[in-house]
Structure 1
Amino acid sequence: MTRARTNPARPQLPNPRQTRRGFLGLGLAAGIVLSLEACGGASTADSASGGSKTIKWAWQLPTTWDPVTSSAGSDVQMLALAYDPLTALDEQGNAVPWLAESWAYDEAGTSVTFTLRPGLTFSDGKPIDAAAVAASIERGRTQDGSLIAPQMATIKKVSAPGDLEVLVELSEVDYQYPLLFAGKTGMVVNPAAFEADAAALATQPAGSGPFTVTSYVQNDHASMKKNPRFHLADEIKVENFDLYPQQDPSTAVASVRSGQFNIGRLGGAQVQQAKDAGLDVQVIDTMYVSVLDVNVSMAPFDDPAVVEAMKYGIDREKVREVAFFGLGDVNYQPFPPGYVGYNAELDDLYAHDPDKARQLLADAGYTAPVKGTFTSSGQSDPAVELIQAQLKEVGIELEIESIPPTQHTQLVYLEHSRALTYDGFAGRESPVQAFQVLFGAEGLMNPGRTTNPELEAQLEKVKKTPTDSPEYPALLQEATRIAVTSFPNVFLQLMPSAIARKGVSELPDLPSLRRFEGVKA
């Protein structure tokens, strides 16, 4: 049998001072509580004990408060304020207890039983028992319109053979579920809510996380209060959490300095400005990688030569220096160094080579500039404009189309109506899930809906290999090689999260889920 490490008292804690190269397999959506000693680092918060005990963050609002229909990977950050997953990840990317205190696969690897911690409750006081968890997982894999269902395709049935035992029966061997259940797919939704009115979950989350939403105005703000029934409630040191959409980076410093917010997200251009203004600046490594997503069913990117020329035509280091003021690291694959799926052989695979880009186009018969459209949601206009200029130099002339951020997911990934877009990939708990999202035939971030039989076969090997097997890393890294060399995605750079704080203690320094245990305001 394959068993999880068990600690019924509390989750196992990662080292808060890990470097990017010191962790293996952390997904952005996962995270473990830091020890309280590691969480409260800022002197400004230590002197604010008489303050409002409220975090006011100009961060982001989710596309929905329902994990089942969430259409953005980064939503998991906000959803984790209201929901708990079954498992979490430690600093090596291993699944560790969260709502489930342990789990075990059968000898064949075709079923896994999760044992819940006793005494857990949803925010409304209803028990989190095996029947509730089974109903939540079943809804996620069967509800019409579920965006997490594709990640659970190998589940045949979920049942509750005991009050605390959740049995997940599989159609084939798949050792990824303890990892998968550390994110949106494993977030447990209160059945009382979705059985009464599932549509209401879009604006009224019903979970067991550290906070409960008291009011929500779409595209404006969400107000939350501490959930006293959260299983680590004693470690939540703030009473309220007010969440707002990200502000224009040019106003972030002024809004934090004035007290409108006490945490704000910064662009690279604002980091020094925030320091000069006397704010606490924190730069946190993440799993977020910027990427150009390509729809190969649309011209001119239906020609592989154009796609390959584009990969060589972009000077990623220049984009990093100019558009992001030196923040981040150039990267050619969806995973960072140190991640179990990171393939070092891909380093500099598409290093800037404008002559090669021009030759690829010439060999393909292009005698005039290739014309196309480059869609931007305003996420990083300087990067988009710089990439446009670099590609023009090698013979690819792109007209920039700006669309509102609120329409980006719908137009690019649901309607598949745009040929090229600048976006980012927020990482996933299970590396197989990451491949499915990026490269699967139904992958949300695969606008062309193309797939590769060689990659699919390799991922089958990965799924059927226990994650603690010595063979697992090499199998996963080979999948990365196949994906990066055969798919059109143009990976650009790893993007850290830069924030300005005023009167709030240091946030846990994890390249994963933002956690707030121990954080003071």
Structure 2
Amino acid sequence: MSNGLRMTAIGAVVAMSLALAACSDAPRDEAGSGGDAGASEAQPGGDLVIGVTSDPDTLFPWRATQFQAVHLLGNVYGTLTELDENLEVVPGLAESWEVSPDGLTVTFQLREDVTFADGSAFDSEDVVFSLESIRDEATAAVAASTLARVTAVAAPDPSTVELTLSTPDSGLFANLATVNLAILSSDDTEEALNTQPNGTGPFTFEARVPNQSVTLARNDAYWGEPALLDTVEFRVIPDESSIVSAMQSGNVQMAVFDDPLVADTATSPDLTVTETPQLSYHVLQLNARRGPLADVNARLAIQCAIDRQQVLDTAALGEGEVTGPITSPAYKSDPDARPCPTRDLDRAREYLAEAGLPDGFALDTIVSQGEYATSVNEAQNLQAQLAEVGIELTFTPLESGAYVDRWIAADFDAAVALNGGRPEPDGMYGRYFTSDGNLNQVAGYSSPELDELFAQGLQATDEDERKEIYDQVARHLEDNAAWVWLFTSYTYTVTTNTLQGFVPMANGSLQYLRTAGFTG
């Protein structure tokens, strides 16, 4: 075990040091290795092909939830703030900001001489348009809840934006770094951007062949250090083993896997495998507004009937950790702080009896097939475990786009899911588990107690106080079995040895394609 990534989550007035442990076994490298050192060896030019298992389901950043879409668009669009390789908040399109003493006014100073890919100038009008559009319920932006405390957005001049808040927001700056809050040109429309993305990022959109590839080109007008690579092609190869074969033959130079078995097959003298612990979490989402799941006892029966370590061992060869709701190291939940921290079939049957369901019930479950490798194995293991107490889990594997459609519509009793984690817990769960959260329909659960706790968490500035508040959030979610949190795992970034300068991140971002390049 080696100490790998060190990360810091910074809110509006909060700074915390975080630490992640990165496990390394030869020939795998420690997470983040080869980043700065390799970058000095990389040369400008070259075309990178990345093997991916699915096509992005949207090119519109405010609606993107699929990992492939999020990671691709993060290289095309800019945000007011960014997260660096240690998950520290750093300037993005805003080069600086100030918070008023009462925490109710945030003033951003924007970078000048920034342009969009179409050559139009970026200024405060674009920021006002973007933030106001995201706040508009009609937009159906998936991160609208991030701006829930914003009551007004003003542009005193072309390089200044002023946000007025109803209450202080300790998570604002970290949350603004997501591509779901990308700044778009005020002249653009969703229809146009779904065909031709137009951002301020280090790469521009060049071409798309549906279900085959998306190609990005270096943005020579990028406000930061220009990327080294000429182009980056995301090539769709549905089977991970086929991606490995393509890498071994030299047709693909990079891929990110979540299956350790596949990563092991990629071992060769010409390829490097980097293992990175992730903030994302594997979970059985329960829709508490449907059928038997409306009874907390039915949900607790599911929770008590599941051996999470068995799911981890079966689906991911034990490479990961059993988890509670919050995965950020600064606020990390105790995975044992829940009813039935270990599997208890007798207690599960008692909960079923208390729910008036002694013989069990049916659980219609959706599973994404293709977006990540362990999904079907997780579903099969959960199915076998729950059957022992009479809960009949039937699952439907869906192509990732169809899965996202049903997931967004909350068209399921349960969903086997891999959800992205963030360093800021409000960014992870405020949009899900508050009654006015824009993804609360998907979450299927809210309560007045959670609404109050999330409000307290955003207004608190003391580190210990925030930790206690989010401990209470996690305990409430677990005590009510809102979902059944299973485990966190790793990503395995495989690159050809001639590719240097790419830094894998704990949030899965591919933003360091901007520093990647090929050696001589």
TM-score normalised by L of structure 2: 0.84
Match of 1:501 in 2: 495
Match of 1:3 in 2: none
Report the CA distance between 1:508 and its aligned residue.
0.8
Check conservation: 2:440, 2:446, Cα contact below 8 A.
Answer: no
Check conservation: 1:84, 1:209, Cα contact below 8 A.
Answer: yes
Picking from 458, 476, 486, the partner of 2:453 is: 458
Check conservation: 1:64, 1:202, Cα contact below 8 A.
Answer: yes
Report the CA distance between 1:114 and its aligned residue.
0.7
Q: What amino acid maps onto 2:173 in structure 1?
A: P
Report the CA distance between 1:426 and its aligned residue.
0.5
Match of 2:158 in 1: 163
Which blocks of at least 5 consecutive residues in structure 1 are unaligned? 1-16, 28-33
Report the CA distance between 1:243 and its aligned residue.
1.2
Match of 2:233 in 1: 242
Match of 1:444 in 2: 439
1:181 partnered with 2:181 = no
Check conservation: 2:61, 2:73, Cα contact below 8 A.
Answer: yes
Match of 1:396 in 2: 391
Picking from 217, 227, 230, the partner of 2:209 is: 217
Check conservation: 1:294, 1:301, Cα contact below 8 A.
Answer: yes
Q: What amino acid maps onto 1:382 in structure 2?
A: N
Q: Secondary structure at the match of 1:391?
A: helix
Report the CA distance between 1:76 and its aligned residue.
2.8
1:332 partnered with 2:324 = yes
Distance in 1 of aligned mates of 2:33 and 2:348: 52
Distance in 2 of aligned mates of 1:60 and 1:429: 26
Q: Deviations over 1:179-226 (max 9, x none)?
A: 22111343211223x1xx431111211111111011123333211100
Check conservation: 2:279, 2:327, Cα contact below 8 A.
Answer: yes
Distance in 2 of aligned mates of 1:311 and 1:401: 21
1:516 partnered with 2:513 = yes
Match of 1:84 in 2: 78
Distance in 1 of aligned mates of 2:70 and 2:283: 19
Report the CA distance between 1:429 and its aligned residue.
5.8
Q: Deviations over 1:414-442 (max 9, x none)?
A: 2x221011011112464223222331334
Q: Deviations over 1:345-368 (max 9, x none)?
A: 745763223333233324544442
The 1:508/1:256 distance shift into structure 2, 3 A limit, reads same
1:254 partnered with 2:238 = no
Report the CA distance between 1:178 and its aligned residue.
1.6
Q: What amino acid maps onto 1:311 in structure 2?
A: Q
1:377 partnered with 2:368 = yes
1:355 partnered with 2:346 = yes
- The 5-angstrom pairing of residues 480-499 of structure 1 reads 480-499=474-493
Report the CA distance between 1:471 and its aligned residue.
2.8
The 1:174/1:500 distance shift into structure 2, 3 A limit, reads closer
Distance in 2 of aligned mates of 1:198 and 1:443: 19
1:422 partnered with 2:422 = no
Greater Cα offset, 405-414 or 503-512? 503-512
Which blocks of at least 5 consecutive residues in structure 2 are unaligned? 12-30
Match of 2:63 in 1: 69
The 1:229/1:445 distance shift into structure 2, 3 A limit, reads farther
The 1:274/1:445 distance shift into structure 2, 3 A limit, reads farther
TM-score normalised by L of structure 1: 0.84
Report the CA distance between 1:393 and its aligned residue.
1.8
- The 5-angstrom pairing of residues 272-283 of structure 1 reads 272-275=264-267, 279-283=271-275
- The 5-angstrom pairing of residues 138-157 of structure 1 reads 138-142=132-136, 144-147=138-141, 148-157=143-152
Report the CA distance between 1:289 and its aligned residue.
0.4
Match of 2:312 in 1: 320
Match of 2:21 in 1: none
Check conservation: 1:26, 1:511, Cα contact below 8 A.
Answer: no
The 1:72/1:35 distance shift into structure 2, 3 A limit, reads closer
Picking from 450, 473, 481, the partner of 1:479 is: 473
The 1:35/1:366 distance shift into structure 2, 3 A limit, reads closer
The 1:330/1:311 distance shift into structure 2, 3 A limit, reads same
- The 5-angstrom pairing of residues 22-33 of structure 1 reads 22-25=6-9
The 1:305/1:26 distance shift into structure 2, 3 A limit, reads farther
Q: Deviations over 1:363-393 (max 9, x none)?
A: 5444424333222222421111111111112
Q: What amino acid maps onto 2:331 in structure 1?
A: G
Report the CA distance between 1:244 and its aligned residue.
3.0
Check conservation: 1:60, 1:243, Cα contact below 8 A.
Answer: no
Greater Cα offset, 318-327 or 473-482? 473-482
1:341 partnered with 2:325 = no
Check conservation: 2:117, 2:198, Cα contact below 8 A.
Answer: yes
Q: Secondary structure at the match of 2:76?
A: coil
Q: Secondary structure at the match of 1:23?
A: strand
The 1:152/1:83 distance shift into structure 2, 3 A limit, reads same
Distance in 1 of aligned mates of 2:501 and 2:45: 16
Greater Cα offset, 318-327 or 54-63? 54-63
The 1:26/1:426 distance shift into structure 2, 3 A limit, reads farther
Distance in 1 of aligned mates of 2:125 and 2:63: 22
Q: What amino acid maps onto 2:332 in structure 1?
A: Y
Check conservation: 2:263, 2:492, Cα contact below 8 A.
Answer: yes
Match of 1:107 in 2: 101
Check conservation: 1:268, 1:326, Cα contact below 8 A.
Answer: no
Distance in 2 of aligned mates of 1:216 and 1:200: 14
Q: What amino acid maps onto 2:380 in structure 1?
A: E
Report the CA distance between 1:127 and its aligned residue.
2.6
Q: Secondary structure at the match of 2:158?
A: coil
The 1:328/1:252 distance shift into structure 2, 3 A limit, reads farther
Count matched residues.
Answer: 487
Q: Secondary structure at the match of 1:68?
A: helix
Q: What amino acid maps onto 1:423 in structure 2?
A: A
Match of 1:289 in 2: 281
CA RMSD of aligned residues (A): 3.0
Sequence identity percentage: 24
